């Protein structure tokens, strides 16, 4: 076997967590991006600044803030535990939440500019061709903004794959449940005699990142 | 046969408009300075802008009525709209743009008919962004006609076209008007474009209908506004007769007794030609002139004179009505008055053949 069971587990977890994070946040991010791009929203600058916080905050600070918010005794977390018995920190679900938080600004930014790039007037043109406003958006605006939307999804996915600081703070580094590729690399780096595992996972990270960049450049070229 | 009836008030931001007119099937020019509410009118007819009050109807169909509390949404109005800038879908081919309307398919017989009518066959598989401005204009017209509209609106279709493409689109619109018996409204801020298309004009000024009817009647009988007169050009129509030299034709206007040698080009295949003669290029003389280079001297009788400050427009009957523009000083010195005989003199090179 090329990879050990622990390495496979880290890779599978990374891919699953990234996929879930992207899929779960997609509808809300698309809606918010659409709203910010097309509607007059009060305090839109403030909303955008808040949404972009995870991009500029030190990851460990994001992790700590999430702990104080969603931890078992956190502002929201205490109710999640009391009402539903859900404990997010140090769980796989917690890794998904962290990934969503850190990748959300990337997806939002790309989605918003993708929608802004398609002039509203195309929807008016589609309406004169027999489509309701909603169907005009589905039939023309979405396909026209698809390269930007796809780039946003791929880069958000790549961001989830690379997430480290906030995850280790909020979810720990538990093999099999919260240890993603970056955390496994870190663990291998810290333990003697694990150089082989470390470099194998580094290689996997590089391959995944390069693939993501190739996909985004494909969409970028399509847009041009 | 459908007619468009509009009697509405609109508010678009700080702009207030009031439109009242009725137009039958055929081509109608919508003329007025930029920013005076021509596109606003189109938006209100198409349903992209809701009037504050009034009625819009096509034939028996009421599209908007504040009294009946009726407002048919844009997508059910069947109003074909060719936007300024075309708004073609950039991710689709020409063929897919034409059939982009709901339920559209290249299998419908109308597709082939429109492709043939507008000469789009060689472009069908091209991406619209690879098409020239003139080609995009034709695709936009085909797309709007594919919904079998009850009214066709064209917003500044000539704005981005060179003179050759402009002439092509004008010829196409004449063909379309023969095939589709619907009101076709064409916005232009160039009066000569409208004159080449039609004599029926809807003048919009400061958000109001300043005139609706025949342009000739307006210019020759109604005492037109000087801003219209200063843009007006005489439209002379010529039949074509092959000349002795290959590729050359004689352009003939029997009424005015004019004959010009013109080189044949693609545009002249219709066997008739139109030329614009700007009134300011005509010299008026009360005697026929001899020993001058200008080859065209048309004898005419003065019908009307309009004076506006330093300029005077003289409408003279030479079998056709010809408008010439001279200085008021010249008109006074020549002592021009209706009934006088004058010679309208112009150089052949000032004729703008289309």
Determine the distance in angstroms separating the CA of B260 from the nearest CA of chain A, rounded to an integer: 45
- Cβ neighbour number for residue A16 with a 10 Å cutoff: 14
* Residues of B contacting chain A (CB within 8 angstroms): 46-48, 73-77, 79-81, 83, 85, 87, 89-91, 100-104, 143-144, 147
User: Per the domain annotation, does B229 fall within a domain?
Assistant: no
The string over B160-195, giving b where at least 16 C-beta atoms fall within 10 Å of a residue's C-beta and e elsewhere, is bbeeebbbbbbebbeebbeebebbbbbbbbebbbbb
The string over A62-90, giving b where at least 16 C-beta atoms fall within 10 Å of a residue's C-beta and e elsewhere, is bbbbbbeebbeebeebeebbeeeeeebbb
Which of B225, B232, B334 lies closest to B277 in space, CA to CA? B232
CA-CA distances (angstroms) from residue B24 to B58, B60, B218? 10, 13, 18
CA distance B36 to B41: 10
Q: Which of residues 49-68 of A touch B (CB under 8 A)?
A: none
Residues B66 and B194 in one domain: yes
**What backbone phi and psi angles, to 5 degrees, belong to B242?**
-60, 135
User: Per the domain annotation, does B68 fall within a domain?
Assistant: yes
**B241 pLDDT band (50/70/90 cuts)?**
confident
Q: Which helix (H) or strand (E) holds B9?
A: strand B4-12
**Contacts for A92 with CB less than 8 Å, ≥ 6 apart:** A13, A17, A171, A177, A178
The string over A33-58, giving b where at least 16 C-beta atoms fall within 10 Å of a residue's C-beta and e elsewhere, is bbebbbeeeeeeeeebeebeebeebe
Which of B303, B328, B333 lies closest to B318 in space, CA to CA? B303
Residues B30 and B162 in one domain: yes
Residues B68 and B192 in one domain: yes
Residues B280 and B189 in one domain: no
Indicate the average pLDDT of chain B: 89
Inspect the interface and report whether the beta carbons of A130 and B102 lie closer than 8 Å. yes
Residues B19 and B43 in one domain: yes
**What backbone phi and psi angles, to 5 degrees, belong to B338?**
-55, 140
Query: What is the separation, in whole angstroms, between the first and last Cα of chain B?
Result: 31
Chain A positions touching B81 (Cβ under 8 A) are 125, 128
**Contacts for B131 with CB less than 8 Å, ≥ 6 apart:** B94, B123, B139
A143 touches chain B (CB under 8 A): yes
Note whether B232 and B219 are within 8 A (CB).
Answer: yes
What's the domain range around A55? 5-223
The yes-or-no verdict on residue B49 having pLDDT over 60 is: yes
The string over B46-82, giving b where at least 16 C-beta atoms fall within 10 Å of a residue's C-beta and e elsewhere, is bbbbebeebbbbbeeebbbbeeeeebbebbebbbbbb
- Look up the CATH number of the domain holding residue B31: 3.40.50.300
DSSP assignment of B107-147: TSHHHHHHHHHTT-GGGTTSBGGGS-HHHHHHHHHHHHHTT
Inspect the interface and report whether the beta carbons of A125 and B103 lie closer than 8 Å. no
Note whether B88 and B143 are within 8 A (CB).
Answer: yes
Q: Helices B109-117 & B163-179, crossing angle to 10 degrees?
A: 140
Determine the distance in angstroms separating the CA of B351 from the nearest CA of chain A, rounded to an integer: 39
With CA atoms as reference, the chain B residue closest to A141 would be B89
Determine the distance in angstroms separating the CA of A124 from the nearest CA of chain B, rounded to an integer: 7
Chain A positions touching B46 (Cβ under 8 A) are 128
Total structural domains within chain A:
1
Q: What is the pLDDT of residue A224?
A: 55
Least confident segment among A6-10, B116-120, B239-243: B239-243
CA distance A199 to A206: 10
Inspect the interface and report whether the beta carbons of A129 and B91 lie closer than 8 Å. no
pLDDT in tens, B32-45: 988 899 999 999 99
pLDDT tens, residue order, chain A (224 aa): 688 888 999 999 999 999 999 999 999 999 999 999 988 888 999 999 999 999 999 999 999 999 999 999 899 999 999 999 999 999 999 999 999 999 999 999 999 999 999 988 999 999 999 999 999 999 999 999 998 999 999 999 999 999 999 999 999 999 989 999 999 999 999 988 888 889 999 999 999 999 988 988 888 777 55
Candidates A121, A122, A128: best to mutate against B (most CBs of B within 10 A) is: A128
Paired tokens of A121: 């007037």
Residues B96 and B146 in one domain: yes
Residues B318 and B189 in one domain: no
Inspect the interface and report whether the beta carbons of A144 and B89 lie closer than 8 Å. yes
Q: What is the pLDDT of residue B238?
A: 87
Inspect the interface and report whether the beta carbons of B102 and A144 lie closer than 8 Å. no
Residues B188 and B323 in one domain: no
Inspect the interface and report whether the beta carbons of A128 and B144 lie closer than 8 Å. yes
Chain A positions touching B47 (Cβ under 8 A) are 127
pLDDT in tens, B250-299: 888 888 888 888 876 554 455 678 889 999 999 999 999 999 888 889 99
Residues B214 and B256 in one domain: no
CA-CA distances (angstroms) from residue A167 to A15, A60, A89, A99, B107? 15, 8, 9, 8, 56
Pairing assessment for the beta strands B79-82 and B70-71 based on DSSP bridges? unpaired
User: Per the domain annotation, does B74 fall within a domain?
Assistant: yes
Q: What's the angle, vertex CA B211, arms to CA B60 and CA B199, rounded to 5?
A: 80
Inspect the interface and report whether the beta carbons of B87 and A121 lie closer than 8 Å. yes
Chain A positions touching B77 (Cβ under 8 A) are 128
Q: What is the pLDDT of residue B264?
A: 62
Q: Which single residue is written with the structure tokens 């808040």?
A: A50
Residues B117 and B212 in one domain: yes
Residues B177 and B325 in one domain: no
Total structural domains within chain B:
2
Determine the distance in angstroms separating the CA of B10 from the nearest CA of chain A, rounded to an integer: 18
Paired tokens of B52: 């504050």
Paired tokens of B187: 């916005």
Residues B23 and B130 in one domain: yes
With CA atoms as reference, the chain A residue closest to B89 would be A122
Chain A positions touching B102 (Cβ under 8 A) are 129-131, 135
Chain B positions touching A144 (Cβ under 8 A) are 89-91
What's the domain range around B104? 4-224
Query: What is the separation, in whole angstroms, between the first and last Cα of chain A?
Result: 43
- Look up the CATH number of the domain holding residue A17: 1.10.3720.10
Inspect the interface and report whether the beta carbons of B74 and A128 lie closer than 8 Å. yes
Q: Which single residue is written with the structure tokens 């663990």?
A: A187
């Amino acid at each position: 076997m090329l990879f050990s069971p622990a390495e496979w587990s880290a890779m599978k977890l990374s891919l699953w967590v990234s996929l879930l994070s992207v899929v779960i946040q997609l509808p809300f991010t698309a809606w918010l991006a659409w709203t910010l791009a097309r509607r007059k929203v009060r305090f839109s600058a403030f909303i955008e600044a808040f949404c972009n916080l995870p991009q500029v905050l030190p990851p460990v600070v994001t992790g700590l803030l999430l702990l104080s918010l969603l931890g078992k005794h956190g502002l929201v977390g205490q109710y999640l535990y009391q009402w539903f018995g859900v404990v997010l920190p140090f769980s796989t679900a917690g890794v998904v939440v962290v990934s969503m938080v850190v990748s959300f600004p990337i997806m939002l930014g790309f989605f918003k500019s993708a929608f802004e790039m398609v002039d509203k007037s195309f929807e008016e043109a589609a309406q004169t061709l027999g489509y309701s406003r909603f169907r005009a958006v589905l039939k023309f605006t979405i396909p026209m903004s698809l390269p930007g939307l796809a780039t946003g999804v791929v880069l958000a996915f790549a961001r989830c794959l690379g997430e480290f600081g906030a995850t280790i703070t909020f979810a720990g580094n538990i093999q099999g449940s919260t240890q993603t590729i970056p955390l496994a690399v870190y663990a291998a780096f810290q333990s003697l005699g694990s150089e082989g595992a470390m470099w194998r996972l580094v290689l996997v990270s590089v391959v995944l990142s390069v693939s993501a960049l190739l996909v985004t450049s494909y969409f970028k070229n399509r847009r041009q | 046969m459908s007619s468009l009836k509009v009697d509405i008030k609109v508010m678009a931001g700080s702009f207030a408009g009031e439109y009242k007119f009725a137009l039958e099937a055929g081509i109608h020019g919508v003329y007025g300075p930029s920013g005076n509410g021509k596109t606003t009118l189109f938006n209100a007819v198409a349903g992209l802008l809701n009037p504050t009050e009034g009625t819009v109807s096509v034939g028996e169909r009421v599209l908007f009525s504040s009294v009946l509390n009726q407002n048919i949404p844009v997508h059910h109005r069947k109003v074909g709209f060719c936007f300024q800038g075309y708004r073609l879908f950039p991710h689709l081919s020409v063929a897919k743009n034409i059939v982009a309307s709901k339920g559209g398919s290249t299998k419908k017989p109308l597709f082939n008919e429109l492709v043939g009518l507008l000469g789009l066959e060689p472009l069908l598989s091209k991406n619209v962004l690879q098409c020239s401005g003139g080609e995009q204009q034709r695709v936009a017209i085909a797309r709007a006609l594919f919904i079998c509209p009850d009214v066709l609106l064209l917003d500044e279709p000539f704005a981005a076209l060179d003179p050759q493409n402009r002439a092509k689109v004008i010829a196409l619109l004449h063909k379309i008007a023969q095939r589709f018996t619907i009101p076709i409204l064409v916005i232009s801020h160039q009066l000569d474009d409208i004159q080449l298309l039609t004599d029926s004009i809807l003048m919009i000024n400061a958000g109001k209908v300043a005139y609706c009817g025949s342009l000739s009647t307006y210019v020759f009988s109604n005492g037109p506004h000087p801003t219209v007169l200063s843009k007006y050009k005489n439209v002379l129509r010529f039949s074509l007769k092959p000349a002795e030299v290959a590729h050359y034709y004689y352009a003939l206007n029997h009424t005015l007794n004019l004959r010009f040698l013109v080189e044949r080009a693609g545009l002249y295949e219709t066997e008739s030609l139109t030329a614009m003669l700007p009134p300011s290029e005509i010299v008026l003389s009360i005697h026929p002139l001899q020993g001058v280079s200008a080859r065209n001297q048309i004898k005419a009788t003065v019908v009307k004179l309009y004076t506006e400050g330093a300029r005077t427009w003289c409408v003279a009957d030479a079998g056709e009505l010809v408008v010439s523009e001279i200085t008021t000083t010249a008109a006074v010195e020549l002592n021009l008055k209706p009934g006088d005989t004058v010679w309208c003199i112009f150089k052949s090179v000032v004729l703008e053949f289309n």
